[in-house]
Amino acid sequence: MNTDFIKKIDGDWTLFLDRDGVLNYDTPGDYVRNWSKFNFFDTTLSAMEKLANIFNLILIVTNQRGVGLGLMTQQNLDEIHQNMLAEIIANNGRIDKIYYSTDTDKINSTHRKPATGMGLQAKQDFNEIDFSCSIMVGNNISDMQFGRNLGMYTIFIDDRKEYNNQTTDEMDLIFNNLLEMADFIEHHFNNAAI
C-alpha cells in the first residue's frame, strides 16, 4: 500500500468522490432511482464534515446511466442531488460541485468513467485543480482507472468486502468506509500541522 502521499496532503488538495457505494448504499443490479431510495451510510455525514476541513475542493464524479436507460428522469437525479447536498451541508460538510454522466455502456462516452471527461470538466471549472495533488475515491475499478488516467492517487472503498483489505495496482489505499478513510487522513493532516 502506498501511504506516503497522505503525508503530503495540505489545504490545496482536491478530493474526487464517487457517489453510490461511497456516500450512500449502492443497489447492485438496480439504481438509486429517487430520493426515497437514497440512503446515506451511517458514517457518511461525519466523514464529510472531517473532509471539508481538510480539502480545498470536494467534487462528486458519478456515472448515472439509469437516466440514459430511461429508468429514472433527470428530475429524479436533480432531486436526489439537491437533497443529498442539503443533508451534507446541514451536518457541516461540503460538496463544491457534482459532475455526472448519464451515458450508457452502448455509447462511446468521453464522460462515463473510466473516461476522463468529468475530471477534465472539473479542471476547466476550477483552474486550481492539480491532478497530482488530487485523490479519487470510489468502490469500482472504473473509479480507480478514472483516477489513474488523470494522474491522481486512488482510494478504494470496499463496501462489499470484495478485496479483504488487499490493494491492487489500480488503488493506493483501501478502506471499509469513508469515515475510516477520513479518520486516517485527518490523523496525518493534523500531525503535519503540528
Residues that are catalytic: 18, 20
In the structure grid, which three cell numbers stand for residue 74, read together?
433527470
User: How many Å is the maximal CA-CA distance in the chain?
Assistant: 52
Give the separation between CA 29 and CA 14, rounded to whole angstroms.
31
Under 8 Å CB-to-CB from 10, ≥6 apart: which residues? 189, 192
Give the separation between CA 105 and CA 108, rounded to whole angstroms.
7
Judge whether 60 and 108 are in contact, CB under 8 Å: no
Give the separation between CA 75 and CA 152, rounded to whole angstroms.
32
